[in-house]
Each structure stands twice: as C-alpha cells, then as structure tokens.
Amino acid sequence: MRDKICIVGLGYVGLPLAHAFSEKYEVVGFDINQLRIDELNAGYDRTLELTEEQLHESIKNGMKFSDNVEAIKECNVYIVTVPTPIDSSNRPDLTPLIKSSQTIGKVLKKDDLVIYESTVYPGVTEEVCVPELEKISNMKFNEDFFCGYSPERINPGDKEHTVTKILKVTSGSTPEIADRVDELYKSIITAGTYKASSIKVAEASKVIENTQRDVNIALINELALIFDTMDIDTNEVIAAAATKWNFIKLTPGLVGGHCIGVDPYYLTYKAEELGYKPNLILGARQINNGMGKYIAEQTIKSMIKNDKKIKDSSILVLGVTFKEDCPDMRNSKVVDIIVELKSYGCKVDVYDPWVDPHEDKKSYKHGIIENPFEQAKKYDAIVAAVAHQQFRTLSQDDFNRILNENPVIIDIKGIVEKPTWRL
C-alpha cells in the first residue's frame, strides 16, 4: 500500500513539509484552526512560507486541508508538527503535543506510523506521546502501531534553505521502523538524511542545536555589555577577532522566536527534574532575556544626554518580528523594548512592513502604524530593531525627515550609518 500522509499542524513547519510530500504522496493537512484551513483552501498562506502558486500546485496534486478528524482516518502515516511552547514559568507546555496525539489516537489503525517533528526534551515521544496514543486507540506500541522522530529544521522566511534542502535527522521506534522513516524522508529531502540510533538521540540532537546557538549568542551579548561600559565598539572588536581562522563570528542582539528563545528551557527542565542544575544554559537564557530591557535603558539614557524630555516623548521602533524579512512575531524580544519604553511614559509607535496593522490591532496590540516615512509626524528617537530589507535601504536623510531636533537613533542590527548608540 502506498503511504497516505497526514500532516498535523499547518504552521511554519507543517505547511512547507506538506507541500514537499504532496509532490510524491497523497497528503491531508490537518489543523484545528478553521480560519487557517479556509485561508489555505483559498490559496493564501499568512506565514508567507508558500506562495499562492505553490499552494495551488499542492491542491492540484491532490493535497487537502481540513479541520475535521474524519478527513484523516484513511491516512497511515501521521506527522506531528505542532508548536511546543513554554508557560509563564518557562516550563514546557506539552498541551498541543498531547492533544494532537489524542486526536491521532482516535483514528489510529493497525501498522500505522506516527512521526513527531516538534522540538522536545529527550523522552517526550515515548514517555508522553505514546501513552496517549495507546490510551485513546486501545492498541499497543511497537506491536499494533509504531513511532518515529525527525526534528524540524525549518528556518522561517528563508527562501534558500527550504525544507527539502536541509539535511534531515530521522529515527524510529524499532530498527525496521527507523529504516522506514528514513526512506520516507529520503524520498523528498534532496539534501539527504541522517539516521540516529534512537528516538531519544534524535530528540536530544534537536534541542541542543538551538541551545548551543543560544549560549554562543549570550557570550557575545555579555561581551557587548562589557565593551559598552568601556566605550568600545563591539562590532569593531568582533571584526578584529574574526581575522583568526577559528573564531566563531556572531553579533550581539535580541534572541527571540519560537526556537532559540524557547528550546533551551525544555532541556533545562528535564535536567533539573533529574537533579542536575544546568547553570551555563540558564545563565545564557538570563543574559539573552535581559537584552530588551538593556536596550530600552540605553535609549532613555541617550535621550537624557540629548536633553530630551522622557515622559510623553515620541519613539519609533522599526520592526517587531523576531527576525528580518519574515512575518513571524512569536516570542519577539522587540516587545520587551516596547514595554520597557512605555513604562517610562514614552509614546511608542511601531512600524513593520511585514505585519498587517489591522491584524496587530486585533491580536497583538503593539501599536503598529502605517509607513511613518510617508507621514508628517516627527519623533524624538528611533530604535532600529529588525534588519528588514526595507530598513536597510533607508538613508540618514530619511531618518532626519521624521526626527525632531537633537534626535536619538538606536541601532540594534548594524544597519544605520551614524547611530547615537549601537549595540
């Protein structure tokens, strides 16, 4: 029997994966968000990961989108790509994963395969998800149904490193299933696959990818804080140090998004549960989480030096997504800057050409405005927070047109020619 694949969760990870599989398999995309399903059926992807042409191509290939469980009961491979967030205490929230497993359990059949792609701490697939599948389906793991884990490596907004062009780690609950999972992904991943020895190894490999990056960025951020107190340009220091062949060149900045700013907490949670205190990882998280507040404080200090009145001052923040050239606002640390500036009594406008102002008013309420460079309003300070291409082309004259006297320009991403202060 040829595999019929169900992708559970049609966000930044699931939709591109469903599109890739639809070129060779019959695919059903499942999501509990009816609005999302309606938009996809109409050929619109609000994440901008797929173009309208790509969506229609997938539909033409036979891919269906549905929020109805009945639509997925004929599938025999279920791939779960739902988010794995953290709660207000930075503890893993496995609710989406558990509910997805329960949904699949309702339609699970003999010899079906369930593959998880969501980032988790080692053990979640077999210790949390499998019991839910067994309980709902009344079937036995590795006898009646099987599981695999293949961590997602999607890079939101990246049109070069797309899902099929990134090497894929795979794993399975038995040696035979590991081979089957590997062959399934190998059929669409042109970059190739790497078969891990176990599901737990594959789970761990994913969570340390982002943990390592988080720790490295935290080091650069801490160095930036030190050099700032010494009145030394951090970027000039990095440029000099990078002349050595084995220096890892990173730049300071905000660490947000659904991965790097979240995944380390999954690993630290499990480590502490087992009695180990991961001081380095937690320290890195503390540094990176504090950067938004620090940048806001430097903005206020720069304004005071320029004899700016702080209360009721007008500040423009350029960009609110967690990274450049992408509409993804999940866990954006720019929000920390906005909140901190408002706590000083500043009036903050946010301009981000990648975010719909009407959508912001409905869901986020960050104060996103239309293009300020086409308006008459003037500002006391500008914070260039995200390096969108639209901001990279702005000149000093563009900034001057919307700034009051003795302006302050804060540059977080190294895109302003003559900033007042640069991270």
Distance CA 380, CA 346 (A): 10
Q: How confident is the model at residue 161 (pLDDT cuts 50, 70, 90)?
A: confident
Q: How confident is the model at residue 364 (pLDDT cuts 50, 70, 90)?
A: low
Domain finish residue from 271, 289, 307? 289
Same domain as 186, residue 309: no
- Domain tally for the chain? 2
213-248: buried (b, 16+ CB within 10 Å) or exposed (e) per residue? bbbebbebbbbbbebbeeeeebeebbeeeeeeeeee
Same domain as 19, residue 108: yes
Residue 306, domain extent? 292-422
Average pLDDT estimate for 113-132: 97
Please give the pLDDT value at position 360.
Answer: 54
User: Which two structure tokens, joined as six digits, stand for 20?
Assistant: 């890739």
Same domain as 219, residue 343: no
- Which positions are catalytic? 259
Same domain as 269, residue 343: no
Span 26-59, pLDDT tens digits:
999 999 999 999 999 999 999 889 988 999 888 8
Q: Which helix (H) or strand (E) holds 167?
A: none
Span 231-248, pLDDT tens digits:
999 989 999 999 999 999
Please give the pLDDT value at position 170.
Answer: 98
- CATH code at position 404: 3.40.50.720
Same domain as 345, residue 273: no
Domain finish residue from 262, 289, 316? 289
Domain finish residue from 237, 262, 289? 289
Percentage of the residues of the chain whose pLDDT score is greater than 70:
97
Same domain as 278, residue 321: no
Span 281-313, pLDDT tens digits:
999 999 999 999 999 999 999 999 999 999 999
Same domain as 209, residue 304: no
Residues 6+ apart with CB under 8 A from 1: 76
